Amino acid sequence: MAFNLDSYEDVQSRVKRWQAAFPVGRIVCDVIQFDAVKGHILVAASIYREHEDTLPAAVDYAFGDAATYPAQMRKFYVEDTCTSAIGRAISLVLETTSKATKQDMAKVERIKNDERSAVIANAPLAINNTWDEFVSAEPKQPVVSLADAAQLVQQKFGEAEPIPTCSHGTRKVKTGVKNGKAWSGAMCAEGTLPQAQQCSPIWYRVDKDGHFRLPEGVE
């Protein structure tokens, strides 16, 4: 629920009204509980209309938690808790529109902001999400038949050249790059034979479309 800090009275203004109404009154703060390690403190504020009064006109309490304060204000959390207790106690005697003071509501707003920041900081990264969080099923690559694949290759690279044969069988096509230029050749089917016994290679030529082609008359 949203609220406007300007709608709440400042503790200093409340104390001034108390002093104007009870010039000889007094305010006493007592530490009820204190834990320096955890940073917790419970303070009771007692207000007296007359300096000589033995019983207070009102008593109220405030709890302080150092962890809820910004780093630069954390060392003042004891003083701030006493101030809050005083403002609450005075509200029991003087007419006020709200028991909470501007300082009290500022702490509430600060805690809400810290909670919102924690939610954002602890939110899972989108990169860690699974497909199920975005789509009903994980997308799959369409299955392409061998005939479709051959057609795609033909469209991309042109009609495939037949592999020529030699006296030892179907030649082996090899490709490579030499001196920055690509080459392709149909080598002897028996590449393990001594070079003198191997059939001479047939070198492919490059046509105007950049495709390797067999020399004319070779099949």
State the pLDDT at residue 111.
Answer: 55
State the pLDDT at residue 115.
Answer: 55
Please check whether residue 47 is in contact with residue 57, taking contact to mean a CB–CB distance below 8 angstroms: yes
State the pLDDT at residue 137.
Answer: 59
Q: What angle do CA 32, 108, 102 make, to 5 degrees?
A: 85
- Locus of tokens 């101030």: 83
State the pLDDT at residue 156.
Answer: 52
Alpha-carbon span 46 to 57, nearest angstrom: 7
Alpha-carbon distance values, 168 to 70, 165, 199 (Å): 87, 8, 8
Alpha-carbon distance values, 50 to 92, 94, 135 (Å): 16, 15, 73
State the pLDDT at residue 130.
Answer: 55
Alpha-carbon span 200 to 183, nearest angstrom: 16
Q: CB-hemisphere CA count at 13 Å for 41? A: 24
What's the token pair of residue 138? 């994980």
Whether the predicted model's global pTM rises above the 0.75 cut: no
State the pLDDT at residue 35.
Answer: 92
State the pLDDT at residue 202.
Answer: 87
State the pLDDT at residue 204.
Answer: 81
User: For each successive 10 residues of the chain (219 residues), what is the average pLDDT?
Assistant: 64 88 93 92 94 93 87 86 90 79 63 54 52 56 61 55 82 80 83 88 80 74
